[in-house]
Structure 1
Amino acid sequence: MDTITRRRFLTASGVVAAGALAAGGTAYGLRDILDFRSEEPLGRTLVLVTLYGGNDGLNTVIPYADPAYAANRPSMAYDEGEVLRLDDEFGLNPGLAGLHRLYGQDRLAIVHGVGYPKPDRSHFRSMDIWQTAQPERPGTTGWLGRWLDTAGGDPRLAVSFEPVLPPLLAGATSAGATVPGGALTLPKGVTPDVLTGFGTPAAGDSPARARAAACFADLIKVRDLVDGAIPDDDGDAEAPATATGGQAPPLERQLALVARCIEAGSATRVYSVSLGGFDFHADEKGAQESILGTLDKPLAAFVERMADRDVVVAVYSEFGRRVRANASEGTDHGTASTVLLAGAGIPGGRYGEPPSLTDLDDGDLRHTTDFRDVYATLLADVLGADPERVLGGWTGRLRFS
Structure 2
Amino acid sequence: MKRREFLSMAAATGAALSMSRAFGTPVPTSGIAPQPHACATAAGRRGKLLILIELKGGNDGLNTVVPFADPAYYALRGHIAIPRDRVIALDARMALHPSLRPLLPSWRSGQLAVVQGVGCAQASPSHFRSTEIWDTGSRADVYRRDGWLARAFAQWRAQQVRASAAAFCNVEAGPFAGLSFAHASPGAWAHVLKADDAPCLNRSNMDLAEDDRATDSAFDASIAPPSRPATFLDSIDAVLRTALVSTKPGSYSAIRVTLDGFDTHANQPERHAALLEEFAQGCAMLHAELTRLGGWNDTLIVTYSEFGRSARENMVRGTEHGGAAAHFVMGGRVRGGLHGQPPDLARLDATGQLPVEIDFRRLYATVLGPFWALDARDILQDDVKPLPLLRA
Provide TM-score, normalisation by structure 1: 0.72
For 2:49 and 2:303, the matched residues in 1 are separated by 14
Q: Please, which moves more after superposition, 91-100 or 318-327?
A: 91-100
- Residues 109/30 of structure 1: CA separation in 2 closer, same or farther (3 Å cut): farther
Whether 1:148 and 2:153 are equivalent positions in the alignment is yes
> Paired residue for 1:301?
285
- Residues 184/107 of structure 1: CA separation in 2 closer, same or farther (3 Å cut): closer
Q: Deviations over 1:175-230 (max 9, x none)?
A: 66123142679xxxxxxxxxxxxxxxxxxxxx9xxxxxxxxxx979x9xxxxxxxx
CA displacement at 1:138 relative to structure 2: 2.8
Q: Secondary structure at the match of 1:76?
A: coil
Superposed counterparts of 1:359-374, under 5 Å: 359-361=347-349, 362-374=351-363
> Paired residue for 2:51?
47
For 1:32 and 1:272, the matched residues in 2 are separated by 24
Whether 1:291 and 2:291 are equivalent positions in the alignment is no
For 2:179 and 2:330, the matched residues in 1 are separated by 30
2:77 to 73, 78, 92: 73
CA displacement at 1:109 relative to structure 2: 0.6
Q: Secondary structure at the match of 1:88?
A: coil
- Root mean square deviation of aligned Cα: 3.1
Whether 1:384 and 2:373 are equivalent positions in the alignment is yes
1:31 to 18, 30, 33: 33
CA displacement at 1:104 relative to structure 2: 2.0
For 1:391 and 1:346, the matched residues in 2 are separated by 22
For 1:32 and 1:366, the matched residues in 2 are separated by 51
> Paired residue for 2:210?
none
For 2:166 and 2:245, the matched residues in 1 are separated by 15
1:170 to 177, 195, 203: 177
Checking the alignment, whether the CA contact within 8 Å between 1:354 and 1:368 is kept in structure 2 is no
Checking the alignment, whether the CA contact within 8 Å between 2:244 and 2:253 is kept in structure 1 is no
Q: Please, which moves more after superposition, 302-311 or 270-279?
A: 302-311
AA in 2 matched with 1:151: W
> Paired residue for 1:262?
243
1:161 to 152, 155, 168: 168
Q: Deviations over 1:305-326 (max 9, x none)?
A: 1123111111111110000000
Q: Please, which moves more after superposition, 141-150 or 76-85?
A: 76-85
AA in 2 matched with 1:78: I
1:271 to 255, 267, 270: 255
CA displacement at 1:170 relative to structure 2: 2.2
For 1:152 and 1:44, the matched residues in 2 are separated by 16
AA in 2 matched with 1:384: A
For 1:95 and 1:172, the matched residues in 2 are separated by 36
Superposed counterparts of 1:85-164, under 5 Å: 85-135=89-139, 136-152=141-157, 157-164=164-171
Query: Runs of 4 or more off by more than 6 Å in structure 1?
Result: none
Q: Secondary structure at the match of 1:157?
A: strand
Whether 1:179 and 2:179 are equivalent positions in the alignment is no
For 1:275 and 1:264, the matched residues in 2 are separated by 23
AA in 2 matched with 1:179: H
- Residues 251/138 of structure 1: CA separation in 2 closer, same or farther (3 Å cut): farther
> Paired residue for 1:333?
321
AA in 2 matched with 1:64: F
Checking the alignment, whether the CA contact within 8 Å between 2:170 and 2:258 is kept in structure 1 is no
> Paired residue for 1:356?
344
Task: Name structure 2 gaps, 5 residues minimum.
Answer: 1-29, 198-206, 208-221
Checking the alignment, whether the CA contact within 8 Å between 1:45 and 1:383 is kept in structure 2 is no
For 1:353 and 1:167, the matched residues in 2 are separated by 29
CA displacement at 1:287 relative to structure 2: 1.4
- Residues 263/365 of structure 1: CA separation in 2 closer, same or farther (3 Å cut): closer
Q: Secondary structure at the match of 1:112?
A: strand
Q: Deviations over 1:285-304 (max 9, x none)?
A: 12101111111112211122
- Residues 391/381 of structure 1: CA separation in 2 closer, same or farther (3 Å cut): same
For 1:32 and 1:161, the matched residues in 2 are separated by 21
Whether 1:398 and 2:382 are equivalent positions in the alignment is no
Checking the alignment, whether the CA contact within 8 Å between 1:63 and 1:69 is kept in structure 2 is yes
> Paired residue for 2:13?
none
AA in 1 matched with 2:76: N
Q: Deviations over 1:216-246 (max 9, x none)?
A: xx979x9xxxxxxxxxxxxxxxxxxxx8x88
Q: Please, which moves more after superposition, 59-68 or 79-88?
A: 79-88
- Residues 123/71 of structure 1: CA separation in 2 closer, same or farther (3 Å cut): same
Superposed counterparts of 1:208-247, under 5 Å: none
> Paired residue for 2:264?
280
- Residues 183/148 of structure 1: CA separation in 2 closer, same or farther (3 Å cut): closer
- Residues 179/147 of structure 1: CA separation in 2 closer, same or farther (3 Å cut): same
For 1:364 and 1:45, the matched residues in 2 are separated by 34
For 2:32 and 2:342, the matched residues in 1 are separated by 41
- Residues 184/35 of structure 1: CA separation in 2 closer, same or farther (3 Å cut): closer
For 1:172 and 1:269, the matched residues in 2 are separated by 14
Provide TM-score, normalisation by structure 2: 0.74
CA displacement at 1:400 relative to structure 2: 3.9
AA in 1 matched with 2:313: A
CA displacement at 1:353 relative to structure 2: 1.4
Q: Secondary structure at the match of 2:192?
A: coil
Q: Deviations over 1:245-300 (max 9, x none)?
A: 887x6221222122122364135511111110111111111210111111111221
> Paired residue for 2:214?
none
- Residues 246/177 of structure 1: CA separation in 2 closer, same or farther (3 Å cut): closer
For 1:30 and 1:271, the matched residues in 2 are separated by 19
AA in 1 matched with 2:33: R
Q: Secondary structure at the match of 1:340?
A: strand
